[in-house]
Structure 1
Amino acid sequence: MFKNSKSRFDSISDGIFAVVLTIMVLNIKVPQSVSSSSINQLIKEILIYLTSVGVVSQYWFFHQEMFNAVKKIKNHIMILNMCFLTTVSLIPFATAWLNDNLFSRITVITFALVLAVANFFQYLMFKLILSDCPQINKHDLEEKRSALIMLIGSFFYLIIGGIFPPVLLILVILSLFIRSSVAHIIRHF
């Protein structure tokens, strides 16, 4: 009689991703003047916004691939998914704080910590879903490996962001490109 609905699971997940992606643009402030400092501030905010959109989009992409073949959502996966989505919903806050204090150690560590926790929940979901799956293909293993690499990478974000905060944004951007490039290369060979 009672069972979890896959369509409602997908709907709430996609809805949260859509809201997160939408509200992050609200952190970009319209310049009050056309001075070089205002334009530099605007460029910084757009760069941080695009980086955060890239991270959230990557999470959505992984989430969609992860749950595409899952037909029945078990309670522990549903709870873990809500933990993951709750952490992802903190990215706009961390992004806004980063906009205001890009080189502050505490804001950089907070941003890196949010990403680390999201990566942790994402990896746990991959691990649990694959443990319940009767047939695992190469693509599934590659996605799980990618989630693990993202988790390990987020610990580097924390360490490097704590030591040298200005490098974090560059590191996150590079990891997005590296992750996408490696996955693309592996799929072709």
Structure 2
Amino acid sequence: MHKTRLEAFSDGVLAIILTIMVLELKVPHGDNLAALRPLLPVFLSYVLSFVYVGIYWNNHHHLLSSARQISGGVLWANLHLLFWLSLTPFATGWMGENHFAPATLAVYGGVLLGSAIAYFVLQNCLIAVNGGPASPLAHAVGHDWKGKLSPVLYLVGIVSSFWLPWLAGAAYVGVALLWLVPDPRIERTLAREKPE
């Protein structure tokens, strides 16, 4: 099976996820800037989730660009990732509407953790189908310290949601900032693998 259909389907789902999230931003019933104040938590949660979905879209693109082939297992792993990402609008809306209440922070962290685990599964399925540990993709991924640190920080966020909500928020924002820094490993590896 060719990967272009998988890429197109995934891009479509991610575009819908972003659209659903922006539709949660309701227009205020006022004509001054003070009317925007109650929307601040909703807007902040939207911005954070937009960044997360953007990070996943970017990394998903790089991951699939390095794949030569896909399998049924890769298709299911990709659907697993899209399942968790599709929960982002719900968790985002709930968290923003309830002003970052502890339970909403924990659920948001759970969705982030599920997405991270699903991405890890997809990454490993693609590595297995495309040559295993000796493949260019496996070399590009390397030790993947960001991928290993992120779930730990999500767990810190989930656990701290009920006692130190600010720490949960800091953990989630910290992971997003960590991934915002471009990671050129796959591009660099693919450039070396290209025939002259």
Which TM-score bucket, shorter chain as reference?
A: 0.7 to 0.9
Q: Is the 8 A contact 1:102 1:108 kept in 2?
A: no
The corresponding residue for 1:116 is: 113
The corresponding residue for 1:89 is: 86
Deviation at 1:169, TM superposition (A): 3.0
The ranges of structure 1 where at least 4 consecutive aligned residues each deviate by more than 4 angstroms after the TM superposition are none
The corresponding residue for 1:46 is: 43
Residue 169 of structure 2 aligns with an amino acid whose one-letter code is L
Unpaired segments ≥5 residues, structure 1: none
Partner secondary structure for residue 73 of structure 1: coil
Residue 60 of structure 1 aligns with an amino acid whose one-letter code is W
Identity of aligned residues (%): 22
Q: Is the 8 A contact 2:146 2:178 kept in 1?
A: no
Deviation at 1:178, TM superposition (A): 2.5
Q: TM-score, normalised by structure 1?
A: 0.84
Distance (Å, rounded) in 1 between the aligned partners of 2:33 and 2:66: 52
Q: 1:171 to 1:145 in 2, by over 3 A?
A: closer
1:39-74: per-residue Cα shift (whole Å, max 9, x none)?
A: 222232221111000011111111111111212211
Q: 1:72 to 1:58 in 2, by over 3 A?
A: same
Distance (Å, rounded) in 2 between the aligned partners of 1:162 and 1:133: 43
- Aligned CA-pair RMSD: 2.4
Give the paired residue count.
Answer: 182
Q: TM-score, normalised by structure 2?
A: 0.82
Q: Is the 8 A contact 1:126 1:147 kept in 2?
A: no
Q: Is the 8 A contact 1:112 1:158 kept in 2?
A: yes
